[in-house]
């Protein structure tokens, strides 16, 4: 009986761990930002991101996008972010979630389909290009 109870606890713990890992993966961009602060506007928006190591790479990608390059294709080919296989799609986030200062305002300033200039103000060494997708 005691072995069965321990086995059931192990299964429940495994399920919880899988759920937590799934949540972290779904919100993969957040795992890359060591300094984040809450914002206060309760609404959902959707965005994609391309993450590169240098400003030069980011600027080349911006030029490619300005010439009509497909954001998702470029993300798959050039991004080093964990969401690259999904074309940079990070999914929905709540504007009242936990994000770096200025992040939400930058995304909100975009119209659907527009992208940001290269940004590295998120507390990491990487350069980010965001696209508002919804």
In CATH, what number is assigned to the domain containing residue 48?
Answer: 3.10.50.40
Q: What SS3 string covers the chain?
A: CHHHHHHHHHHHHHHHHHHHHHHHHHCHHHHHCCCCEECCCCCEEEEEEEEECCHHHHHHHHHHHHCCCCHHHHHHHHCCCCCHHHCCEEEEEECCCEECCCHHHHHHCCCCCCECCCECCCCCCCEEEEEECC
Provide the domain count of the chain: 1
pLDDT of 34 above 50: no
High-pLDDT (> 90) share of the chain, % = 24
Query: CA-to-CA distance for 50 and 130, rounded, in angstroms?
Result: 7
- Could you report the per-residue pLDDT of 57-104, keeping only the tens digit for each? 999 999 999 999 999 999 999 999 888 899 988 877 655 555 665 677
Domain range for 12 is 2-132
Which pLDDT belongs to residue 63? 95
Closest-CA residue to 83 (of 119, 118, 34, 48)? 48
């Amino acid at each position: 009986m005691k072995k069965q109870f321990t086995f059931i606890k192990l299964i429940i713990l495994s399920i919880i761990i899988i759920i937590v890992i799934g949540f972290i993966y779904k919100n993969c961009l957040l795992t890359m930002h060591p300094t984040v602060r809450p914002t206060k506007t309760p609404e959902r928006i959707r965005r994609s991101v391309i993450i590169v190591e240098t400003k030069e790479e980011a600027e080349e990608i911006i030029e490619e996008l300005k010439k009509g390059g497909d954001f998702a294709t470029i993300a798959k080919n050039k991004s080093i972010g964990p969401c690259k296989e999904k074309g940079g799609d990070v999914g929905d986030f709540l504007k009242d979630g936990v994000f770096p200062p200025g992040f939400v305002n930058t995304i909100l300033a975009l119209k659907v389909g527009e992208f940001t200039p290269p940004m590295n103000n998120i507390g990491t060494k990487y350069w980010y290009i965001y696209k508002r997708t919804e």
